[in-house]
Amino acid sequence: MQRNFIQVIRSTRSTPRDTRRAIAVVAAGAIAFGALTGCAPEPEIDAPDDLTTQIEDETKWPELDKETEKVTVLPADFPETFPVPESAKIYDVGSRNAGTWFLVLVAQNAAEAETLWQQVITDGSFEVADAAETTEGGTSATLTSDDASVDAMTLPQEDGTVLMNYDITVFSLMP
């Protein structure tokens, strides 16, 4: 005949001494556990200023700290499909990789920037899409033609000048 666990427990006779011993062992274990965990050192928490400095140091882009030399003359491989108005002043220009360039023009004021902006669109036969005003008060748009796609943006500056940034992707490098 099989006996279940409860029957086994009931059949064992425990003396008051065994009961006291079991209670003492459990109590000693609880006290030891509490003493050991209560003595652990508190973790050090950085002060808010330390955290801010640490985050700023970790997220800083070192290459942005250096002022790169601006190129103000169109490179020989600059795409002929993108019209640069003769009156435009080049702030910076360069190639990102094969088939892509950037061009930054600078205008003395918002009226001149608008004239140059429209001249680039007209001379390049670009279609304007996704035109929107930026939070800085400039304009951003995607300009597309049969030969190129351009992400364009005007960036008004505090001194009244306006930077016009063009990221140019040429569809075909073949003539």
pLDDT digits (tens, 9 = 90+) for 77-110: 898 889 999 999 999 999 888 889 999 999 999 9
**Whole-Å CA distances, 127 to 79, 101, 118:** 18, 19, 11
Q: What is the CATH number of the domain that holds 104?
A: 3.30.160
User: Are residues 72 and 103 part of one domain?
Assistant: yes
The pTM score is 0.60
User: Are residues 126 and 85 part of one domain?
Assistant: yes
Domain assignment present for 11: yes
Residue 67 is encoded by which pair of tokens? 């002022």
Containing structural domain, residue 18: 5-47
User: Are residues 95 and 135 part of one domain?
Assistant: yes
Mean pLDDT score across all residues of the chain: 79
User: What's the order of all strands across the beta sheet hosting 100-107?
Assistant: 89-97, 100-107, 162-170, 148-156, 139-144, 127-133
Q: How many domains does the chain have?
A: 2
User: Are residues 138 and 108 part of one domain?
Assistant: yes
Q: How many other CB atoms are there within 10 angstroms of residue 168's CB atom?
A: 23
Residue 139 is encoded by which pair of tokens? 């304009």
User: Are residues 162 and 79 part of one domain?
Assistant: yes
Domain assignment present for 166: yes
With CA atoms as reference, report the closest residue to 105 among 97, 114, 96, 170. 114
d(CA 101, CA 77): 10
Enumerate residue ranges in the chain where pLDDT < 50.
8
Q: Provide the pLDDT for residue 152.
A: 95
Domain assignment present for 59: no
Q: How many other CB atoms are there within 10 angstroms of residue 27's CB atom?
A: 10
Domain assignment present for 138: yes
User: Are residues 78 and 43 part of one domain?
Assistant: no
